[in-house]
Amino acid sequence: MSDTPQTWHHGLISEWWAHFNVDGPEIAYYQRFIEAAQPALDAGCGAGRLLLPWLRAGLDVDGCDVSADMVARCRERGETAGLAPTLFVQPLHALDPPRRYRTIVACGVFGLGTTRDQDHVALRRLHDALEPGGTLLLDNEVPYSSARRLRRWTAEGRAELPAPWPNDWDRRTASDGSEYALHSRMLAADPLDQSYVLAMRVEKRTLGELVGEEEWTLTMRMYFRDELVLMLQHAGFVDVDVRGEYNDAAPTPDDDMLVFVART
In a domain, 5, yes or no: no
Locate the DSSP E strands across the chain. 40-43, 61-65, 87-89, 101-106, 130-141, 170-173, 179-190, 195-206, 209-221, 239-243, 257-263
159 with 74, same domain? no
- Encode pLDDT of 84-126 as tens digits: 999 999 999 999 999 999 999 999 999 999 999 999 999 999 9
In a domain, 4, yes or no: no
In a domain, 197, yes or no: yes
**Angle at CA of residue 9, ends 159 and 4, nearest 5°:** 80
In a domain, 53, yes or no: yes
In a domain, 2, yes or no: no
What's the CATH code of the domain at 61?
Answer: 3.40.50.150
In a domain, 178, yes or no: yes
191 with 84, same domain? no
In a domain, 1, yes or no: no
Distance CA 111, CA 42 (A): 16
Sheet strands side by side (includes 87-89): 87-89, 61-65, 40-43, 101-106, 130-141, 257-263, 239-243
Mean pLDDT of 23-38: 97
Question: Are 59 and 82 within 8 A, CB to CB?
Answer: no
In a domain, 215, yes or no: yes
153 with 107, same domain? no
227 with 215, same domain? no
Question: Are 218 and 112 within 8 A, CB to CB?
Answer: yes
34 with 124, same domain? yes
- Encode pLDDT of 222-263 as tens digits: 999 999 999 999 999 999 999 999 999 999 999 999 999 999
pLDDT grade, residue 7 (50/70/90)? confident
Q: Is the dihedral of CA 237, 65, 21, 75 positive or negative?
A: positive
Q: How many domains does the chain have?
A: 2
Say whether 208 sits in a helix, a strand or coil. Answer: coil
Question: Are 105 and 34 within 8 A, CB to CB?
Answer: yes
The separation between CA 28 and the C-alpha centre of its own chain, rounded to angstroms, equals 17
66 with 30, same domain? yes
83 with 126, same domain? yes
Residue 172 structural domain: 147-220
How high is the mean pLDDT of the chain? 95
**77 pLDDT higher than 90:** yes
**5 pLDDT higher than 70:** no
The separation between CA 259 and the C-alpha centre of its own chain, rounded to angstroms, equals 13
127 with 166, same domain? no
